[in-house]
Amino acid sequence: MNSAAPSESPKDNAPLTAPIVRVPRRRWGRWILIALCGLYVSGAVGGWLVLRYAGKQREVRFLDVALLRWQEVRRSVAAQQFTRARAEVEAKDFRAAHMLFNSALRRDPGNLTGRLAAADFFQKLGATDLEIEVLEAGLALSPDEPKLVQRLFALLTSTGRDQHALNLLRQNYGAGFAGRAQADWLQVYEIVATRNVRGPAEALQLLQKNPRLRDATTTAAVIAPILWDGGEAAAAIDLLGKFISAESALPAAYATLASWQEAAGRVDDAVRTAEAASQRFPHEVGSQVLLVETLSLRPAYASRWSQQVGFFLHTFRGDPAALHLLARAAGRRGWLELAWTLYEIGATHDAGASQLALYYADALAFRARFADTWQVLADIEKQSAAAPLAFVVQLRQRQVMTAAALDNQENVREYARRLAEQVRGDAGSFELCRRLFTKLNIALAAAEFSPEAERRSPAAKNLADLPAPSPVDTPVAENGGS
């Protein structure tokens, strides 16, 4: 008897599947929270390691990073370093100050006060490239900060770096300045740089596109020279006069105005400007020198001139910088006796006698005693073997100009070549020398500073390598002249 096969239920035919485990929502949230915490901690650890070891920020602790306090810690440390850097400057430990300023700026690049202090430090050292670097980095962070805009572009346009100024304006601000907080100053420095690179005609064209700048007193001290160089003497004098009346003008603005009034034949106005400066800045040396200069313009003021010179020597005799300012004026005006007296004072008191001798040479040149000037310059060089570059540049420029006055083309070319070799590493100084000799129409000298000039063999080291162009009879150490 055949037995029937057991019957299969529907459940037996169903596919085998794992049971579904339902995780409560609270557990999902917990796991996500744990994962996020792990990511946060690992990120904090990574950031701390980068700051501590790669960035050498040893003062930053892990908790500072974890609690997002690391920027506050860096600013605090930077503030301490800025303070220490200023103290090192006072102590004349310039290397330590340099390191502290650099470290502080890395920690807190947005500290404007500290950045300007670092720029002041590099300016004091004469490190113009480093000063520009510090200001330029600040401008990249704060392109509308007025102190950075005015200081950086004033520096660039006064040190022969005008093309760099134009490039920087295009790089940071594009094709126009509309809507910028410092639009007026940006336009002003574009005009100044254009004047220096392409000439006053193009600068005036730019100024015509911004006519309100012609009458704005806030920018008048910069715009007025553009008008003067462009041949608009009356407009320049009027604008600068308004600036002096309306703004807190510095003594330099008075000096510029007085020089323009003198050049325009308005001598009495020049004297009044100098008197106003002297009264407004009674303890400022430059204002007192300006009064000495303007009083010399009329014979009727001769007694006042003598009194002012006597007052100056009595008041500032112990101030080397004051003596140098007066000596510079004496050289510029051809006051041989006064220039010699100041040289003797400087030599007696060890107050920069070589620089004072240069001003005495200027007085000789003013009197057209070029052979004597040449000999004085030769004596100065013999006594200035270790002089700083800034002094050497002044000496070389005078040697070139004196050789040109003596029509000694060989010496013009030689001393221009020596000067070019000595400033070739400083693009700003190189360009300023080119402009000077171009303005003086000394073509042979200007050619040594042209982009096409080829590098020649190293220059001779001493004036003795070349013959003196003519006999001399007034050596610097023997006779003051009159």
- Tens digit of each residue's pLDDT (9 = 90 or more) over 355-372: 999 999 999 999 999 999
pLDDT at 89 over 80: yes
Identify which of 22-31, 332-341, 418-427 has the greatest average pLDDT. 332-341
pLDDT at 49 over 80: no
Domain ranges of the chain: 38-66, 69-142, 155-232, 379-482
pLDDT at 239 over 80: yes
**CB of 126 closer than 8 Å to CB of 391:** no
What pLDDT, in 10s, does the model give residues 166-215?
A: 999 998 887 678 778 888 899 999 999 999 999 999 999 999 988 888 88
Q: What is the pLDDT, as a whole number, of residue 69?
A: 46
Average pLDDT, the chain: 82
Confidence class for position 334, pLDDT limits 50, 70, 90 = very high
pLDDT at 386 over 50: yes
Identify which of 27-41, 76-90, 451-465 has the greatest average pLDDT. 76-90
Confidence class for position 43, pLDDT limits 50, 70, 90 = low
pLDDT at 34 over 80: no
CB atoms within 10 A of CB 467: 10
Confidence class for position 450, pLDDT limits 50, 70, 90 = confident
Closest by CA to 43, choosing from 62, 69, 71, is 62
Confidence class for position 417, pLDDT limits 50, 70, 90 = very high
Q: What is the pLDDT, as a whole number, of residue 479?
A: 35
Label residues 296-325 b or e (16+ Cβ within 10 Å = b). bbeeebeeebeebbeebbeebeeebebbbb
Confidence class for position 463, pLDDT limits 50, 70, 90 = very low
Q: Can you tell me the mean pLDDT for 238-242?
A: 92
Q: Can you tell me the mean pLDDT for 310-324?
A: 88
**CB of 103 closer than 8 Å to CB of 58:** no
**CB of 357 closer than 8 Å to CB of 378:** no
pLDDT at 250 over 90: no
pLDDT at 156 over 80: yes
Q: Can you tell me the mean pLDDT for 135-150?
A: 93
pLDDT at 104 over 60: yes
Residue positions counted in the chain: 482
Confidence class for position 48, pLDDT limits 50, 70, 90 = very low
Q: What is the pLDDT, as a whole number, of residue 283?
A: 87
Lookup result for tokens 């670097």: 133
pLDDT at 469 over 80: no
pLDDT at 470 over 80: no
What pLDDT, in 10s, does the model give residues 253-274?
A: 999 999 999 999 999 999 999 9
Q: What is the pLDDT, as a whole number, of residue 318?
A: 82
Give the rounded percent of residues in the chain with a pLDDT score beyond 70: 78
pLDDT at 400 over 70: yes
- Alpha carbon distances (Å) from 114 to 3, 34, 144, 390: 105, 43, 18, 28
**CB of 474 closer than 8 Å to CB of 378:** no
pLDDT at 151 over 80: yes
- Alpha carbon distances (Å) from 74 to 3, 71, 139, 204: 92, 5, 21, 48
Closest by CA to 244, choosing from 265, 289, 267, 275, is 275
Start-to-end CA distance of the chain, whole Å, equals 158
Q: Can you tell me the mean pLDDT for 219-248?
A: 90
Q: How far apart are CA 171 and CA 478, in angstroms?
A: 57
More confident residue, 59 or 345: 345
Per CATH, the number for 69-142 is 1.25.40.10
Q: What is the pLDDT, as a whole number, of residue 468?
A: 42
R_g of the chain computed on alpha carbons: 35
Q: What is the pLDDT, as a whole number, of residue 115?
A: 93
Q: What is the pLDDT, as a whole number, of residue 58?
A: 54
Give the rounded percent of residues in the chain with a pLDDT score beyond 90: 53
Mean pLDDT lowest among 74-83, 107-116, 156-165, 271-280: 74-83
Q: What is the pLDDT, as a whole number, of residue 82?
A: 87
**CB of 358 closer than 8 Å to CB of 331:** yes
CB atoms within 10 A of CB 29: 10
Q: Can you tell me the mean pLDDT for 140-144?
A: 91
